[in-house]
């Protein structure tokens, strides 16, 4: 399997343009997940990832995706390690997928369903392979073990790469990775547990907002995203059966500082 897949990654350009921070909400019950989604969206975090590692996570993903659809906020599925899982999260309304590694079969399945895919990379060989497959965006994982210097080093030979630092990222070290050249950072429990001021500070210190340019501390609220991640817009997705359904048709139903396998 060689050559570019024409992978649809524009959703990442859009959502990280508004805020270079993604929340990873792993293993939480549905009410807690929805409450955190709304709180983080209100604070200016645009992107949310729901890792899917058990049956209950699919229902949580569907509910979060429906809430995100209403607020025009993209909700993606994480820990996507099989083609079968791609189909399941697509049916649940995921706007994008995230994986711990780079699997071309998973990428092909995502591309076939119009889902943006963010694969994990940890070596120059993997970054080059991702680039060859038409992927500008990739997840630097596990970021804390790789170190922020890894980001800077990889951008030298791959200046067009866009890395989302993930794994061991906290509100305390996120700025270090962004300063090193990461295009975005993903945080788990550290973000969910942070107070409002810490989240505002993280976004304000890393987003090119008018307030920041004027030397003010708090960022502007992100403007609404228009049908981000939805092929054709309008919140509709075509299932493999050919039926068109609204994400609202799906059922509406913990993590600490460790982001897990993502």
Q: Answer yes or no: are the C-beta atoms of 236 and 230 closer than 8 Å.
A: yes
DSSP-derived letter for residue 77 is E
Give the DSSP per-residue string, 147-212. Answer: -HHHHHHHHTT-TT-EEEEESS--TTTHHHHHHTT-SEEEESHHHHHS-HHHHHHHHHTTS--HHH
Asked if residues 163 and 139 have their Cβ atoms less than 8 Å apart, the reply is: yes
Question: Of these residues, 49, 55, 176, 216, which one is catalytic?
Answer: 55
- The active-site residue out of 49, 69, 139, 255 is 139
DSSP 3-state of 252: coil
Beta 47-51 vs 116-118: how paired, if at all?
Answer: unpaired
CA distance 212 to 60: 35
Active site residue 55: yes
3-state secondary structure of 261: coil
Question: What does residue 39 show for φ and ψ, rounded to 5 degrees?
Answer: -65, -45
The residues carrying an active-site annotation are 55, 139
């Amino acid at each position: 399997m060689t050559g570019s897949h024409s992978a649809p990654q524009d959703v990442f350009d859009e959502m990280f343009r508004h805020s270079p921070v993604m929340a990873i909400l792993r293993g939480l019950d549905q009410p807690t997940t929805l409450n955190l989604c709304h709180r983080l969206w209100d604070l200016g975090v645009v992107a949310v990832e729901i890792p899917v590692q058990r049956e209950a996570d699919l229902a949580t993903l569907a509910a979060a995706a429906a809430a995100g659809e209403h607020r025009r906020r993209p909700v993606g599925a994480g820990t996507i390690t099989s083609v079968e899982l791609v189909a399941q999260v697509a049916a649940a309304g995921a706007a994008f997928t995230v994986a711990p590694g780079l699997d071309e079969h998973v990428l092909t399945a995502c591309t076939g369903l119009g889902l943006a895919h963010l694969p994990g990379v940890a070596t120059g060989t993997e970054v080059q392979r991702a680039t060859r497959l038409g992927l500008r965006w990739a997840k630097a994982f596990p970021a804390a073990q790789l170190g922020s210097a890894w980001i800077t080093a990889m951008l030298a030979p791959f200046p067009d790469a866009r890395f989302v630092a993930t794994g061991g990222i906290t509100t305390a070290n996120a700025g270090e990775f962004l300063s090193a050249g990461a295009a975005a950072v993903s945080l788990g429990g550290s973000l969910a547990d942070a107070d409002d001021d810490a989240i505002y500070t993280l976004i304000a210190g890393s987003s090119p907002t008018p307030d920041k340019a004027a030397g003010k501390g708090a960022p502007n609220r992100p403007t609404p995203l228009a049908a981000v991640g939805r092929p054709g817009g309008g919140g509709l997705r075509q299932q493999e059966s050919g039926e068109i359904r609204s994400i609202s048709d799906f059922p509406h139903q913990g993590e600490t500082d460790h982001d897990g396998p993502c």
